[in-house]
Amino acid sequence: MTYQQILIIDFGGQYNQLIARRVRECGVYCEILPYKKATVEEVRRRAPAGIIFTGGPASVYLETSPHIDGEIFGLGIPILGICYGAQLMAYTLGGRVATAPKSEYGKTATEFEDSVMFKDVPKKGITWMSHTDYIAEPPKGFKITSHTAVCPVAAMENDERKLYAVQFHPEVNHTEHGTDMIKNFLVSACSCSCDWSMGSYAETAINSIREKVGDGKVLLALSGGVDSSVLAALLAKAVGSQLTAIFVDHGFMRKNEGDEVEAAFKDWDINFVRVNAADRFLARLEGISDPETKRKRIGEEFIKVFEDEARKIGRVDFLAQGTIYPDIIESGAGDAAVIKSHHNVGGLPEHVDFKEIIEPLRLLFKDEVRALGNTLGLSPKLVYRPPFPGPGLAIRIIGEITREKLEILRDADAIFREELEKDGIARNINQYFAVLTNNRSVGVMGDGRTYDYTLALRAVTTTDFMTADFAEIPYPLLGRIAARIVGEVKGINRVVYDVTTKPPATIEWE
């Protein structure tokens, strides 16, 4: 089945993924394309139902700024320009863009006129502005449909040519009725039917995988994280026993996590291989305290274990990876900075001869991956588990790793997670975990002196994991958690809560 598609052309905007998220929330599929790749030929080839230009930090009247072939406005495809995208539309079509007498940042009182974009939207509202330049004069044939006290062209349109532009950001939550505005563009201007969903995506993906794989064999390195677990479930539906999923348990998983992963897939029609390699990994980390060295040694050993198991399988036709859309974007596109290199293929066993890599999740965001997991019937414990770093608890223990420390941290972390989940607050926190510090302090239990470890609790709220705030867990709940940990976990006599934002801290401690 072919779905209507919206093409989001990225000019370096910080909200490009958020625009895509809003479009998909409206039931329309979309993809992001860097402006340098958005040639007229490429746009024609994709034949989108509509196009959205993102914002960006540049000034359109500078030669070094991102621009686009003006022919794109003559293709008859509806276009919505947002912020820089709005200014680019005005500048390219003969309007005038200049430095605004007064910049606008944050929540701004805005007035709206009759427009396709503002159908059923109140005439006055709050929008989110973030601009230094502004549209001083709209191009010929455009009418002004919105303004603020200092911005004469907060929105404009040429409905005959299906061209629309807004200076503000309708994709952010701070803009009142912003999603309604985007949906108006999708439905009224682009004639989208809004019939895209994760259920239909799953059906399409399963059929596509079957067609590509045929009677071949698929190999998946299953980490137990959300992405690889959902991918395993999707592949199981598509090719069943042709899939071999290798789950390497390095001994640094959370309490009962290895058993939970195994249990989740025991009834699936796949070849599930669990490798209990804790002894190998602990031996590699003996005497190691430096976090970077820990990461490197764990990564190296993982490859060796995976290589040993892959050798037993023999010929493999396809290698499956749980790459998701943010991985691709964060790897750098166009002039965008590389946030996090995407190198899932690095270090793969040389003797595994596969035709190609398949990445069925590569066009999905994390929340969409979770939705797909629910659609496929995957255990909620796997679908909604907090993100977990590849090295696991090894980088949540400060200093050298020992079996004793691992057991202490597993038990304490389990109590923390259990209490947050029981209270119902866990779904509102994006990441939460315990850290076993290398600090010991004096305590009193009963009539005796103790000299045990200090445990740190970390919980944050974030949308992109690039910045984060500490979660405001109620004091009574923190008190109950601390009391349980100190009372039930031998080796801990003090619990602290990390109230540092990112930046200046990172989310993880190591």
CATH number at residue 243: 3.40.50.620
Both 10 and 133 in one domain: the answer is yes
Report percent pLDDT > 90 for the chain.
61
Residue 358 contacts residue 212 (beta carbons within 8 Å): yes
Both 371 and 401 in one domain: the answer is no
Identify whether 390 is part of a domain: no
- In this prediction, residue 354 carries a pLDDT of 67
The Cα 159–Cα 169 span in angstroms is: 20
- Could you write out the DSSP letters of every residue in 183-252? HHIIIIIT-------HHHHHHHHHHHHHHHHTT--EEEEE-SSHHHHHHHHHHHHHHGGGEEEEEEE-S-
- Among 232-241, 293-302, 381-390, which is the least confidently predicted range? 381-390
The Cα 316–Cα 170 span in angstroms is: 47
Both 416 and 350 in one domain: the answer is no
Residue 87 contacts residue 136 (beta carbons within 8 Å): no
- In this prediction, residue 339 carries a pLDDT of 32
Angle at 323 between CA 296 and CA 213, to 5 degrees: 115
- Six token digits for residue 375: 């659609």
pLDDT in tens, 185-215: 999 999 999 988 888 889 889 999 999 999 9
Both 237 and 373 in one domain: the answer is yes
pLDDT in tens, 245-269: 999 899 999 999 899 888 888 888 8
Identify whether 197 is part of a domain: no
- In this prediction, residue 196 carries a pLDDT of 86
pLDDT in tens, 296-355: 888 888 878 877 887 888 778 888 888 877 666 544 444 444 333 333 433 344 545 567
Interval 468-491 mean pLDDT:
96
- Among 54-68, 133-147, 396-410, 439-453, which is the least confidently predicted range? 439-453
Both 182 and 216 in one domain: the answer is no
- Choosing from 333, 358, 383, the residue where a domain stops is 383
Both 159 and 18 in one domain: the answer is yes
- Choosing from 356, 383, 410, the residue where a domain stops is 383
Interval 439-456 mean pLDDT:
88
- Six token digits for residue 164: 């629309």
Its domain, for residue 246, covers 209-383
Residue 477, pLDDT > 90, answer yes
Domains held by the chain: number: 3
Which residue, among 104, 66, 54, has the nearest Cα to 329 in the 3D structure? Answer: 54
Identify whether 37 is part of a domain: yes
**Contact residues for 216 (Cβ-Cβ < 8 A; gap 6+):** 242, 317, 318, 355
Residue 270, pLDDT > 60, answer yes
pLDDT in tens, 89-122: 999 999 999 999 888 888 999 999 999 999 999 9
Which residue, among 152, 246, 226, has the nearest Cα to 388 in the 3D structure? Answer: 226
Q: What's the Cα-to-Cα distance from 477 to each of 11, 238, 249, 433, 507, rounded to whole Å?
A: 45, 44, 32, 15, 21
Identify whether 345 is part of a domain: yes
- In this prediction, residue 272 carries a pLDDT of 92
As annotated, the active-site residues are: 83, 169, 171
Residue 279 pLDDT class (50, 70, 90 cuts): very high
The Cα 278–Cα 410 span in angstroms is: 14
Residue 2, pLDDT > 80, answer no
- Choosing from 355, 383, 411, the residue where a domain stops is 383
For residue 146, the cross-strand partners are 112, 155
Interval 22-50 mean pLDDT:
93
Both 320 and 449 in one domain: the answer is no
* DSSP count for the chain of H helices, then E strands: 14, 18
Both 375 and 283 in one domain: the answer is yes
Q: Is the dihedral of CA 246, 249, 250, 253 positive or negative?
A: positive
Both 170 and 251 in one domain: the answer is no
- In this prediction, residue 138 carries a pLDDT of 97
Both 228 and 368 in one domain: the answer is yes
Residue 80, pLDDT > 80, answer yes
- Six token digits for residue 367: 């929340």
Both 123 and 245 in one domain: the answer is no
Identify whether 509 is part of a domain: no
- In this prediction, residue 386 carries a pLDDT of 81
Q: 503 or 232: which carries more pLDDT confidence?
A: 232
Residue 251 contacts residue 406 (beta carbons within 8 Å): yes
**Statement: the pTM of the whole predicted model exceeds 0.85:** no
In the sheet that holds 143-147, the strands lie side by side as 29-34, 5-10, 50-53, 79-82, 163-166, 155-158, 143-147, 96-112, 124-137
Interval 155-183 mean pLDDT:
95
Identify whether 104 is part of a domain: yes
Identify whether 202 is part of a domain: no
Angle subtended by helix axes 475-488 and 403-423, to nearest 10: 150
The Cα 484–Cα 416 span in angstroms is: 9
The Cα 389–Cα 383 span in angstroms is: 16
Q: Is the peptide bond before 503 cis (omega within 30 degrees of 0)?
A: yes
**Contact residues for 211 (Cβ-Cβ < 8 A; gap 6+):** none
- In this prediction, residue 337 carries a pLDDT of 40
CATH number, domain with residue 89: 3.40.50.880
Q: Is the dihedral of CA 118, 123, 129, 131 positive or negative?
A: positive
The Cα 326–Cα 483 span in angstroms is: 39
- Six token digits for residue 355: 């035709």
Angle at 286 between CA 285 and CA 289, to 5 degrees: 70
Identify whether 429 is part of a domain: yes
**Contact residues for 474 (Cβ-Cβ < 8 A; gap 6+):** 425
Both 22 and 120 in one domain: the answer is yes
Helix (H) or strand (E) holding 106: strand 96-112
Report percent pLDDT > 70 for the chain.
93
CATH number, domain with residue 460: 3.30.300.10
pLDDT in tens, 123-161: 999 999 989 999 999 999 999 999 999 999 999 999 999
